[in-house]
Chain A
């Protein structure tokens, strides 16, 4: 009798030990350029990480490093992650591109996911979201909701992604309201709450009653709330920062993509891909519309979103000219991804120059 009990005890001991040893099938590392507490870009990536943890439980172990500067430090952090047994690394900033390529070459068995980059390898995938699709929808709302016909835009750096967003928002706003004007301020930072607040105030002082931003903190929205104008949440929903001001928001929803990629890695079906998803798969998502928005506008916005998601409408559909008057898209023609990726011009109707 004693022998049988001993056997089962040993067996359960081994099983428990075994499950402890093989607790995680996959170790996934996340490299952040900012703090998860920014409530913007990095916050949403961290939400994705948490979604992965929740979806896979004990099968997946996640770690992260925050505030990692681009360049040599990023390369070292990723190398050390690879050395310490990580199977997959998510690098969440454009500037990590070359470090990712370098480390990926040294560790061919580690899978890399690089956000917003354009270089790939057998073990490097890239991914980004078509935020501009979301901008079209909020641009429409902005055009309809503005009473002063001035929309203020707080832009970070004059890179294609930001210019794309401005153009998409403007085109939709103009279509909704032919009298609308955009005033654009470049703050040359992704994250500086005080400066973003100053920029927001300056725009409101200049007559804007709807604000949009392409920066990382909820600052513009907070200022809008304080001064009684409208604004939109950026990257995360940000409702709590502007309950009265926030008309809607563009949300970077990485959860489904992250879960899918980790699943693929677990299943052994992971391949190097380039993903640029928008409203359809939900990578660029929209926050709930504010009840202040009239029902008909809300319906229009929803229809626009559905049309874009369904592929029936494209954010950039001709006839559209460039700012200097030259023709860009003919009637019915839509922009190709290549031009969009390298977009460095304003569309006709936007005043001012893109800083060089």
Chain B
């Protein structure tokens, strides 16, 4: 009979080791998976984790790309983590990401081809507004009608996808694009473009913002009253209420925060790597960010690392596809396994396993 004995003190050692253990276990079982698919497990694992960082053919290009891929994940995940701590489940970050891009894109396209230094900052603001707007729907519905925010935010993702399609084919379509769907390319429109900070690398303002937000939100979470209230609400809603937290306000604030960050990520992605509003603009960052948030233990520094790790598996995974003919789905399985192992071992942080007699 396995008994769980609560630890008197959380062991920071275990806390730090667990993610490493989880990655190790995933590599092991992932290796078995790859072997069953007929690939050399060592080569595959190496290609996923090592090559993008160190291989001389790919690394120079891949290293900054990892950051570019990680940036939206980190931004969104940090926003989500606050809500998750307080049991406020925003599952619709994907939709907020889309709306942020649409709002900022619409602004940029409306003033095209005017050039102005003000445009980019304004678009940033609109991106945030778009995300906040979309997240405020589940926020208000929960606050005033007690509607479950998981489902509302999720349904709104599908609605946002339809709006995106309508935008690509209709109201934001490029009039000089020969009738094809898709907006003008905003990354080629100087005032709107999300420019490279380090030339040749692809590292754009979104990456810088992601780093800054790690620091900013770390301070907010651990040193500021808001962060304290969020954590307290999650652990004990009653205690939080007694200490003066207004639960309704918290819901709105947390959802607005995650929505705003998601919308911001959408805006950076639109004006940078993606370039255009297209039907397939959204690639699932909103959902992957949920995984990143948990992998990062819901704190900004952890999220920084888990975001980079996740991005690494994406970039390395792409390599394995055309270098080793590994199916794309194998990487998805791999990522799911990683999360499962991490979640399974989370237990060890707070409990000791003891084998006791019946």
A-side residues, CB < 8 A to B, are 29, 63-73, 75-77, 79-81, 83-84, 94-95, 98, 118, 157-160, 188, 341-344, 355-356
Contacts and interface: CB of A to CB of B under 8 A. Distances in A.
Given A77-B318, A77-B322, A71 B179 contact: no
A72 B169 contact: no
Interface stretch (B4-12, B58-66, B86-94): B58-66
B274 A157 contact: no
A84 B178 contact: no
A80 B62 CA distance: 8
B231 interface: no
Given A77-B321, A159-B180, 18 more contacts: A65-B318, A66-B327, A68-B318, A71-B276, A71-B281, A71-B283, A76-B65, A80-B61, A84-B57, A94-B180, A95-B182, A98-B185, A118-B178, A118-B180, A157-B181, A160-B179, A160-B180, A341-B178
A65 B321 contact: yes
Contact of B169 (A29, A80, A356): A356
A167 B278 CA distance: 25
B58 A72 contact: no
Contacts of B283: 69, 71, 73
Given A67-B328, A341-B178, A98 B275 contact: yes
B170 A356 contact: yes
B273 A71 contact: yes
Interface residues of B, number: 38
A160 B323 CA distance: 36
A157 B57 contact: no
B280 A70 contact: yes
10 nearest A-B residue pairs (beta carbon):
A72-B273, A342-B179, A71-B274, A63-B322, A160-B179, A65-B321, A356-B170, A65-B322, A69-B283, A342-B178
Interface in B313-341: 315, 318-319, 321-323, 325, 327-328
A206 B176 CA distance: 38
Contacts of B279: 95, 157
A84 B325 CA distance: 14
B243 interface: no
Contact of A66 (B62, B178, B328): B328
21 contacts: A64-B321, A65-B322, A71-B278, A71-B281, A72-B269, A72-B272, A72-B273, A77-B318, A80-B58, A80-B319, A81-B322, A83-B61, A84-B58, A94-B180, A95-B280, A118-B180, A157-B279, A160-B178, A341-B178, A341-B179, A356-B170
Contacts, number: 94
Nearest to A72: B273
B32 to A, nearest CB: 23
Given A65-B322, A66-B328, A77-B322, A157 B169 contact: yes
B162 interface: yes
Contacts of A69: 280, 283
A83 B63 CA distance: 14
Interface of B: 57-58, 61-62, 65, 68-69, 162, 165, 169-171, 178-182, 185, 269, 272-276, 278-281, 283, 315, 318-319, 321-323, 325, 327-328
A73 B318 contact: yes
A237 B321 CA distance: 28
Contact of A79 (B61, B180, B323, B327): B61
A97 to B, nearest CB: 9
A67 to B, nearest CB: 5
A188 B162 contact: yes
B169 A355 contact: yes
B295 to A, nearest CB: 21
B179 A344 contact: yes
B207 to A, nearest CB: 13
A76 B275 CA distance: 14
Contacts of B276: 71, 98
A160 B169 CA distance: 11
A71 B61 contact: no
B169 A63 contact: no
B58 A71 contact: no
A72 B328 CA distance: 17
A76 B318 contact: yes
A130 B128 CA distance: 44
Given A71-B273, A95-B278, A64 B322 contact: yes
A55 B354 CA distance: 65
Q: For A65, A94, A157, A343, which residue has the most chain B Cβ atoms within 10 angstroms?
A: A65
Contacts of A81: 322
A313 to B, nearest CB: 25
Contacts of A341: 178-179
Which of A84, A94, A95 lies at the interface centre, i.e. has the most chain B CB atoms within 10 A of its CB? Answer: A95
Contacts of B325: 63-64
Nearest to A85: B57
Contact of A63 (B68, B69, B323): B323
A29 to B, nearest CB: 6
A238 to B, nearest CB: 23
Contacts of B169: 157-159, 355-356
B164 to A, nearest CB: 11
A70 B278 contact: yes
Contacts of A70: 278, 280
A195 to B, nearest CB: 12
Contacts of B182: 95
Contacts of A29: 322
Contacts of A342: 178-179
Contacts of A157: 165, 169, 181, 279
Which of A118, A159, A188 has most chain B Cβ within 10 Å?
A159
Nearest to B283: A69
Q: Kindly name the residue among A70, A81, A158 whose own CB sees the greatest number of chain B CB atoms within 10 A.
A: A70
A80 B318 contact: yes
A165 B323 CA distance: 37
Contacts of B269: 72
B146 to A, nearest CB: 33
A95 B169 CA distance: 13
A116 B62 CA distance: 29
Nearest to A76: B65
A72 B276 CA distance: 10
A83 B327 CA distance: 21
